[in-house]
Structure 1
């Protein structure tokens, strides 16, 4: 009888292993080259390097990869310039809340070709999918102006260049980090797309911190705004006085 049970176990074991492999989640491994970026007074910009590997081949007939990086949320005001008697003055304005200070997207193919609009909206994969809260003046013009300003500053990046793939399963993406980037916690999402669905996702954390003199000045400006303003006025006055003395002697 023992031999019968052993034979039955040997027959059923491969089937059980195959079934377990079939229900196992898709494999995705990703990492950042650095988890901390230090912003000093000499900081001129950097880049975010995301790399990883997948279990299946990457390509049109296989899996696809999407990388989304978002920075701390902030509020921004967009004002419309109006010409009055030859002078440009501020007109209507719109305030946007929950604006990502940094937003960057990279993918192996254009995202609309990989995912439907509903899932793109849920995952905020696209500048047109950002749920910005608009107060004050209404209309799409202000939202478009906000997008143009952020893109010109390099703070919103919709990467046309796809993620680079090596060996069929290895991938990496380089996303620019401008000198004007805000400090805080950045969320990096790496998503695996299969059959027009996100089947695996990995979240990574990037810390952008101010250090040295930049951190000291930022702390004073935030915690002692009156003292910071007075110091700026005194420094500006001293610079003007020194400049006038130097040019007067020349």
Structure 2
């Protein structure tokens, strides 16, 4: 399948941000809303509802319902410049996140009664699964404020209370006390992988945090020095539709991170 428009742009250049004139002002408004006691921006919720479709049945976690881009959605083939926000990584269920969510559902004791941080949370799938598996406290961290609204909507679809959504960049910040950090599809850029490397080391050294990584074997992930510090926990064969959407990637794995401290 050949994808065009916004979806193709996302998959080819995930680490490149498209800059639109309307983005900055809109995202500032959303940030203010999310950091206050007001409910998520109704107009953004409406936009998400009208431009995504409830899906997920063909993923590694068919028991989850998520608002995603599908071929039935306008922006599957629409010109990218017409999209009014930052790149909507939250509208795609990436294969690393799928593997991570599947692993947690199959092993609920991993996050049961734990304090969990989902970094680069996107659609919120892993944070939702942590909730479903009985985590005591869940934080979903994504620098795109629209992702936080999408996460709230996806929680509603799955009948769970939304996690705390943090839109500040937590990578590089002073480590907080989390029992488990989840990272799905975050090693798509070498510079980001390097910054994650140092920050995760500090989190583990300071609090003994467990770190789980989901990745389908992208070149930037396989070629980075951090790869030798990862130990495979599970491997999942991707469904056919997910393979087609990710240029033929066939498997996605979950890794535990054990740094040399």
Query: What range is the shorter-chain TM-score in?
Result: under 0.3
Name the TM-score, length of structure 2 as normaliser.
0.21
Give 1 or 2 for the bigger CA radius of gyration. Answer: 1
- Report which of the two has the higher share of helix: 2
- Report which of the two has the higher share of strand: 1
Name the TM-score, length of structure 1 as normaliser.
0.22
Higher RCO structure, 1 or 2 (CA under 8 Å, sep 6+): 1
